[in-house]
């Protein structure tokens, strides 16, 4: 069946090849969507941590709001690094089936960027408050 299918860029190919190519693309996009979901969840945890610190900053003892906020932001670090690990495992499984997927370094760069930013944010919560570390 030599249809002029939009996906084949005008080249003649049978339906099986076009269907297989579409399935590979759907798989690639599913890995990317899952990774994006994990990163969105990490950003949400960062937002919750910051909001907790801002809204409940006057808790007694004074370090409690920082500790709870830091816990949420630390969870975001875990989520970002776990997202990278899972995406790379999925890509490795796809490569064993001769599927060209997205590049792992892009996932790694984004994950480590989010994790590093979150770690700096935790340090900022504890250090950047009028020069006083505990208060």
The answer to whether residue 9 is domain-embedded is: no
List pLDDT tens digits, range 8-43. Answer: 555 555 667 777 777 777 888 888 899 999 999 999
Q: How many domains does the chain have?
A: 1
- What's the pTM? 0.73
List pLDDT tens digits, range 56-71. Answer: 877 788 788 889 999 9
CA distance 27 to 91: 10
Q: Compute the mean pLDDT over every residue in the chain, rounded to the nearest whole number.
A: 81
Reading the block at residue 121, the tokens are 């944010």
CA distance 52 to 35: 26
The answer to whether residue 18 is domain-embedded is: no
Helix then strand count (H, E) for the chain reads: 3, 0
The answer to whether residue 26 is domain-embedded is: no
The answer to whether residue 98 is domain-embedded is: yes
The answer to whether residue 46 is domain-embedded is: yes
Instruction: Give the domain extent around 38.
Output: 31-127
Place of tokens 């909001």: 51
The answer to whether residue 116 is domain-embedded is: yes
The answer to whether residue 11 is domain-embedded is: no
The answer to whether residue 14 is domain-embedded is: no
């Amino acid at each position: 069946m030599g249809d002029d299918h939009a996906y084949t860029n005008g080249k003649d190919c049978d339906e099986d090849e076009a269907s297989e190519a579409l399935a590979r693309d759907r798989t690639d996009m599913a890995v990317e969507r899952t990774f994006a979901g994990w990163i969105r969840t990490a950003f949400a945890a960062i937002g919750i941590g910051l909001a907790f610190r801002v809204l409940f900053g006057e808790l007694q003892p004074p370090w409690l709001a920082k500790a709870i906020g830091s816990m949420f932001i630390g969870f975001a670090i875990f989520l970002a690094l776990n997202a990278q690990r899972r995406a790379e495992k999925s890509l490795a499984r796809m490569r064993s089936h001769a599927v060209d997927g997205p590049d792992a370094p892009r996932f790694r760069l984004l994950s480590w960027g989010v994790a590093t930013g979150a770690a700096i944010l935790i340090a900022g919560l504890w250090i950047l408050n009028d020069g006083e570390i505990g208060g």
